[in-house]
Amino acid sequence: MRASFVAASVLARYTSLAAAHSMFQDAAAGTVDYNSTCVRMPPNNSPVTNVAAPEMACNAAGTKAAASTCQATAGSPFTVEMHAQPGDRSCASPAIGGNHFGPVMVYMSAVADATAAGAASGASWFKVDEIGYDAATKTWGTDALNANCGKRQFVIPAKIPAGDYLVRAEAIALHAASQVGGAQFYMSCYQVKVASSAGGQLPAGVKFPGAYSAQDPGILIDIYSNLKSYTIPGPAVIDKSFF
């Protein structure tokens, strides 16, 4: 009886943790809902845990380019959306649950062809949005996602050139990040064609892998230690002059 009870307990715990895994899977440009048509959908909702792995760019091996792109306009809002299971946009369940607390970030990279299979390889990523930790309210970026049905809206920089881009949405779960390799990275890349009349230049960017270290203070951290502040990993959001 005891062995059966222990086995059932382990299975229940595993099922609970697995159910907490999530993926960015839907998008909207302004009021146009593109659903999942332009996302490079990960093959499953499990995280990446090795910051040095090539999967840090657009998720796990086996992630394929989408068949189409989303249309967007520089200077206009764009929304990325996270849920636990493919095709599930219900607001009844957390976008990412199971105490998977952490920051949410959005990067962009200009590419020649967003639908090309290898477009993310060697790409230069600039950060356009982030939300970390509010010590006053003890809330995280993932809490904001859950409060808004998995949606995070940001503005595409007004002063970037027209063309194809990959939009990389990422949430980092830090519930087990007190040891190296414990942080969990959930990211998806969206294929977006940006219309722009402003022209302009591209901001400086970073590489994935390469932008994060396993020892970064925002990655190797005990979030249950009465945090007074939190350092979001990666570069700062690009200068406001681009917006």
For residue range 88-115, list pLDDT tens digits in order: 999 999 999 999 999 999 999 999 999 9
Buried b (16+ CB within 10 A) or exposed e, 16-45: eeeebbbbbbbbbbeeeebebebbbbbeeb
Model confidence, pTM: 0.91
Q: How much is the pLDDT for 201?
A: 87
Q: Rounded distance, CA 80 to CA 170, Å? A: 10
- Other beta carbons within 10 angstroms of residue 181's beta carbon come to 13
Q: Are 70 and 27 in contact (CB under 8 A)?
A: yes
pLDDT of 3 higher than 90: no
Q: Rounded distance, CA 95 to CA 148, Å? A: 9
Provide the pLDDT confidence category of residue 197 given band limits of 50, 70 and 90: confident
Q: How much is the pLDDT for 60?
A: 87
For residue range 42-88, list pLDDT tens digits in order: 999 999 999 999 999 999 888 899 989 999 999 999 999 999 999 99
> 71: closest CA among 160, 239, 184, 196?
196
